[in-house]
Amino acid sequence: MSNINLSDLEIEVLFFGKWRFNTNWEKISIELKDDMTYEQTKIQTFLMYKPSEFIIGNKFTGVWHVNDRRLCLVVKTVPKSLFNLRLPILSKLYIADIIANVYSMFLTENYEVQEINSSQVIINHENETIVGVKIK
C-alpha cells in the first residue's frame, strides 16, 4: 500500500477502473469511469436485507469525485428498481430516478480513503473498514 499523502487528483487517477468490495452485508462491484460517472452493482448477502434489493434494485449509476481524500458517490439513476416506472405525463422520467436524484442532493455516499495503490484500496464507511481490489 502507498502512503495517503497523495492529492485528490492523484487518488482519482488511481480509482479509474473496476473495483470489487466485500462488506459484512453486501458484495459491491463498481466501475469508476474517467468521465467521472460510475456504474455500481450491490448484491445483498444478509438474508434480512435481500427484500430491499428487490424493491430498490441492485444497479446504480451516477457521478463520482474525490474530495479531502473521500470517495464521493452521487446516485443519479436506479435502472433496475421495482419502482422505476415511467410517469404517464412525462414519458422520459422514471419515479425511482426522481427519488434517487432528490435523495442524492441531501446525502452523498462518502468513503474515507485510508490507503490506495494501483491494485488495492482501504476505505472506511460508517465505522467499517473495507478492502477493495481492482479488477483487471
**Residues 34 and 13: beta-carbon distance below 8 Å:** no
* Helix extents (H) in the chain: 8-15, 50-56, 95-106
Residue (of 6, 25, 39, 29) closest to 133 by Cα position: 29
The 3-state DSSP class for residue 47 equals helix
Taking the model in full, what pTM does it have?
0.79
Contact residues for 35 (Cβ-Cβ < 8 A; gap 6+): none
Question: 60, 68 in Cβ contact below 8 A?
Answer: no
Q: Which CATH class is domain 8-135?
A: mainly beta
Condensed to tens digits (0 to 9), the pLDDT of residues 40-90 reads 998 888 877 777 666 667 888 899 999 999 999 998 877 666 565 555 666
Task: Please write the tens of the pLDDT for every residue from 108-134.
Answer: 889 999 999 999 999 998 889 999 999
Contact 64, 32 (CB under 8 A): yes
Map out the domains of the chain as residue ranges.
8-135
Report the chain's terminal Cα–Cα distance, integer Å: 18
Residue with cell 434494485: 57
